[in-house]
Amino acid sequence: MRSKINYLTGFLISALVFPVLLVTGIQWTAYNEAFYERQYNRLNTAETIGISRGDLSRVTGVLVDYIRGKRDSLDVEAEIRGERRLVFNDRETAHMVDVRKLFNFAERLRKFSIFGILLLGTILYFNSGKHPLRFLASSYLAAGAVLLVLLAVLIPLVRSNFTYYWDQFHYLFFDNDLWLLNPETDIMIQMLPESFFNHAVQRVMVFFAGGSIILAIPAIFLHRQSRRQRRKNAGQEKPAYK
């Protein structure tokens, strides 16, 4: 019974690792201004907006600082098509309030997951006789297998119609239509069109998958080592004769 509890605890720890990786991957992408610059170059964003590359970079810095909570306002001016003006209108700034709330929620989720990992890890450590790794390794591989099946279904599904599932994401996480911006007039959607987010999601998934695989490597080693040790112990047991 204790072994089953230990494996279940290990599985829960492993499950909590995945939101940590996912949120970290999102932040690694959303807070990386070099990623924005690469996408701007690919999409000719400055030319589309009619803004200098220097101003576009400065506006991006303001945007990133805002979603990170380093500034309270998105008020920033730039010269766009020869006119000095505020870059973002009221609808765009209102939508970004919702976006920042979503990022704050994601950060809270990561902190909760890390706390859960530490708490459950402590329980597993003492309940396993201070030998938690063999339970954790097996449980991580089991959780990883479940995740792999889910990703094998979800990734091709999303890639088959990214626009549809990107819209569903907004319907799920936003309770208004402020995210429906006009690409003819709204700078926010000109800076960050759907193609930008398509590449951003791919980058997050690469980080997520890479992190999961890196953790799986020692888990496989420990799992095999544990199985060899159990077989060895079983072979050393001698039958009792009367």
Query: Residues 45, 36: contact at Cβ < 8 Å?
Result: no
Q: Note whether residue 239 is domain-resident.
A: no
In this predicted structure, what is the pLDDT of residue 241? Answer: 47
Q: Note whether residue 105 is domain-resident.
A: yes
pTM of the entire predicted model: 0.89
Q: If you compute the radius of gyration of the chain from its CA atoms, what whole number of angstroms results?
A: 24
The residue with tokens 């599985």 is: 11
Cβ neighbours around 6 below 10 Å, total: 22
Kindly list the averaged pLDDT for each block of 10 residues, start to end, along the chain of length 242.
Answer: 89 96 97 97 97 97 96 96 96 97 97 97 90 89 93 92 96 96 96 97 94 93 78 60 46
| Collapsed DSSP state (helix, strand, coil) of residue 51 | strand
Beta strand extents in the chain (DSSP E only): 77-80, 83-86
In this predicted structure, what is the pLDDT of residue 242? Answer: 46
In this predicted structure, what is the pLDDT of residue 238? Answer: 53
Cβ neighbours around 194 below 10 Å, total: 13
Q: Determine the Cα angle at 58 with ends 55 and 59, to 5°.
A: 85
Q: Note whether residue 236 is domain-resident.
A: no
Q: Which two tokens stand for residue 157?
A: 């599904």
Q: Note whether residue 238 is domain-resident.
A: no
Q: Which two tokens stand for residue 125?
A: 């450590």
In this predicted structure, what is the pLDDT of residue 233? Answer: 65
Q: Note whether residue 237 is domain-resident.
A: no
Number of domains into which the chain is organized: 1
Residue type, 220: I
Q: Which domain holds residue 187?
A: 2-231
Nearest Cα to 223, choosing from 7, 1, 5, 2?
A: 7
